[in-house]
């Protein structure tokens, strides 16, 4: 039994980590050029980070959405009823754009 101790311990840690880990979401990068495009789903690219992300700004950088949202059509549906402020809240980093 001793010879399996470290391996069994590793298995336990791996399973516990996955069970209690933060849910993995889909990440959509915002590539719009104006603040008015924040709610335009066509300005977002899956798993793509813009070059000009900063800590403070007036537009989102990469928004984090549920993992089922991985097509433009699903993103469009997800945006229904959401304001610019709601979408900004989905992004920890920001971009600075003209209004």
Partner 1 sequence: MNGIARFFVMNRHRVVELISALFILLFLYTALNKTVYIRPTINILNANPLLSNYATAITWSVIILEYIATAILFFPKTRKAGLIVSLALMSIFTAYIGYMMIFVPKLPCSCGGIISKLTWSQHLIINLIFILLALLGIRLQRKLSDQPDH
Contact 67, 75 (CB under 8 A): no
State the nearest-atom distance from the C-beta of 47 to partner 1, in Å: 5
The residue among 11, 8, 76, 13 whose CA lies nearest residue 41 is 76
Stretch 3-42 residues interacting with partner 1 (CB under 8 A): 3-7, 9-11, 13-15, 17-18, 21, 23-27, 29
Q: Least distance to partner 1 from the beta carbon of 21, Å?
A: 7
How distant is the alpha carbon of residue 36 from its chain centre? 20
Question: 3-state class of 61 per DSSP?
Answer: coil
**Cβ closest to partner 1, residue 36 vs residue 54:** 54
- Residue selected from 35, 37, 39, 49 as contacting partner 1 according to rule CB under 8 A: 49
């Amino acid at each position: 039994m001793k010879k399996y101790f470290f391996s069994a311990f590793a298995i336990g840690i791996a399973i516990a980590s996955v069970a209690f880990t933060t849910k993995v979401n889909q990440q959509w990068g915002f590539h719009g050029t104006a603040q008015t495009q924040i709610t335009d789903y066509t300005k977002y690219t899956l798993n793509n980070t813009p070059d000009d992300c900063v800590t403070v700004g007036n537009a989102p950088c990469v928004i984090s959405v549920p993992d089922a949202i991985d097509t433009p059509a699903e993103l469009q549906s997800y945006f229904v009823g959401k304001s610019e402020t709601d979408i900004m809240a989905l992004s920890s980093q920001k971009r600075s754009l003209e209004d």
